[in-house]
């Protein structure tokens, strides 16, 4: 007997070992029997990691022969007839009817991928192969922990979302509120995209309008896709805008003073008289704060113009951990129509230790 270490001989040796006697007994009769053949082609399988997979081998006229399952990559014999020959507890074989042999792999691992062979120990040996591919749904590696970043306005930020899976997942980014992402490639070049592709999303000179929740989504067509939410907080000192710097009305009228504040983190806002006396809500004064967006608040002071003492300067003030700012509105009686003059920015700002004045040019308008 010529022994070369091919799959076939490997198989035959193993078979003789296990089925001593049986094989020899039938050997003499095999010439009178129709030769075995495959009844169908074995199908390639793609399966999601952790699920089960089965190869089915249909053999006609098996006669005295035996069916074995072999991992073609390493020539390991997995099973023979109805016995599993490896110590892989996830494997089982089933001989369900006269013609059908099934190799079942439970809880498939990535390492199970490869080419599987169904072999018949006839002479010549017969075999057919099919491959098992194991795909893995995407997973986002959470090395950076917290889903929130704080960046001073004008600063730089990198959001990173590394994903694994098989095939390698595609990572895309979008804003939760549906607004575009601004990609700056050069000093002047910028591009707006609704979806950005790549593991790292970089902000150069971030602006307040880029503040919000960003979602990175990893997908490789193996369900389920996964996403991660990162909140980008841009910090800046309060800026106050006063549209009507001069407001008036007859004695006895109800007056509303109006300021817009942009600040992040959320500021503490209050109103004061020009003297610095803080206004507290009571029968005479009522205050309102309306959120316009995540960093913009509209401040309103409602008051009754009941005496000459109510005339003069009112300040809306805003303060957060980065700095503070105030805007001034002048109230005069005897003026019926709202003034539309002097719209713009009137603000004093102190940012951190560096104290500076942005613009405090309130035009003094005289009323005739």
- Three-class DSSP labels, the chain: CCCCCCHHHHHHHHHHHHCCCHHHHHHCCHHHCCCCEECCCCCCEEEECCCCEEEEEEEECCCCCCEEEEECCCCEEEEECCEECCCCCCEEEEECCCCEEEEEECCCCHHHCEEEEEEECCCCCEEEEEEEEEEEEEEEECCCCCCEEEEECCCCEEEECEEEEECCCEEEEEECCCCCEEEECCCCCEEEECCEECCEEEECCCCHHHCEEEEEEEECCCCCCEEEEEEEEEEEEEEEEECCCEEEECCCCEEEEEEEEEEECCCEEEEEECCCCECCCCCCEEEEEEECCCCEEEEEEEEECCCHHHCEEEEEEEECCCEEEEEEEEEEECCCCCCCCCCEECEEEEECCEECCCECCCCCCCCC
Compute the least distance from the CB of residue 247 to ligand NAG, in Å. Answer: 15
Compute the least distance from the CB of residue 80 to ligand NAG, in Å. Answer: 24
Region near ligand NAG per CB under 6 A, out of 37-45, 207-215, 224-232, 359-367: 37-45
Q: Which of 253, 296, 332, 339 binds ligand NAG (CB under 6 A)?
A: 253
Q: Is 363 in the site for ligand NAG (CB under 6 A)?
A: no
Q: Which of 6, 29, 37, 44 binds ligand NAG (CB under 6 A)?
A: 44
Do residues 122 and 65 make contact, with C-beta atoms less than 8 angstroms apart? yes
Nearer to ligand NAG, 43 or 139 (CB): 43
Q: Is 41 in the site for ligand NAG (CB under 6 A)?
A: yes
Which positions from 159 to 178 touch ligand NAG by CB under 6 A, shown as an x/- string? --------------------
Q: Which of 40, 221, 254, 355 binds ligand NAG (CB under 6 A)?
A: 254
Count of residues in contact with ligand NAG, rule CB under 6 A:
7
Nearer to ligand NAG, 116 or 236 (CB): 116
Compute the least distance from the CB of residue 272 to ligand NAG, in Å. Answer: 22
- Pick out residues in 123-142 that bind ligand NAG (CB under 6 A): 130-131
Region near ligand NAG per CB under 6 A, out of 36-44, 165-173, 201-209, 217-225: 36-44
- Pick out residues in 173-212 that bind ligand NAG (CB under 6 A): none
Q: Which of 43, 52, 73, 139 binds ligand NAG (CB under 6 A)?
A: 43
Compute the least distance from the CB of residue 253 to ligand NAG, in Å. Answer: 5
Nearer to ligand NAG, 25 or 37 (CB): 37
Interface ranges with ligand NAG (CB under 6 A): 41, 43-44, 130-131, 253-254
């Amino acid at each position: 007997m010529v022994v070369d270490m091919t799959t076939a001989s490997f198989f035959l040796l193993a078979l003789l070992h296990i089925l001593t006697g049986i094989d020899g007994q039938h050997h003499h009769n095999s010439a009178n029997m129709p030769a075995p053949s495959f009844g169908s082609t074995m199908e390639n399988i793609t399966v999601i990691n952790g699920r089960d997979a089965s190869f089915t081998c249909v053999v006609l006229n098996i006669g005295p022969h035996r069916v074995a399952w072999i991992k073609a990559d390493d020539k390991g014999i997995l099973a023979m007839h109805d016995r599993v020959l490896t110590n892989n507890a996830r494997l089982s074989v089933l001989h369900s009817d006269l013609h059908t042999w099934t190799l079942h792999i439970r809880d498939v691992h990535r390492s199970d991928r490869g080419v599987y062979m169904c072999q018949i120990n006839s002479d010549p040996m017969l075999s057919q192969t099919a491959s098992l591919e194991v795909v893995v749904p995407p997973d986002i590696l959470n090395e950076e922990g917290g889903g929130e970043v704080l960046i001073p306005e004008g600063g730089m930020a990198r959001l990173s979302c590394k994903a694994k899976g098989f095939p390698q997942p595609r990572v895309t980014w979008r804003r939760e509120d549906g607004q575009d992402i601004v990609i700056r490639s050069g000093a002047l070049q910028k591009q707006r995209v609704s979806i950005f592709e790549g593991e790292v999303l970089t902000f150069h000179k971030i602006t307040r309008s880029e503040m919000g929740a960003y979602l990175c989504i990893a997908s490789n067509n193996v369900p389920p896709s996964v996403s991660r939410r990162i909140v980008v907080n841009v910090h800046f000192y309060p800026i106050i805008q006063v549209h009507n710097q001069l407001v008036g009305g007859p004695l006895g009228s109800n007056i509303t003073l109006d300021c817009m504040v942009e600040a992040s983190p959320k500021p503490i806002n209050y109103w004061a008289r020009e003297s610095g006396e803080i206004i507290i809500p009571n029968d005479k004064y009522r205050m309102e704060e309306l959120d316009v967006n995540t960093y913009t608040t509209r401040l309103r002071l409602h008051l009754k113009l009941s005496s000459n003492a109510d005339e003069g300067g009112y300040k809306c003030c805003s303060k957060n951990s980065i700095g503070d700012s105030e805007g001034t509105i002048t109230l005069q009686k005897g003026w019926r129509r709202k003034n539309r003059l002097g719209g713009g920015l009137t603000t004093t700002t102190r940012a951190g230790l560096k104290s500076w004045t942005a613009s405090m040019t309130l035009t003094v308008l005289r009323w005739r």
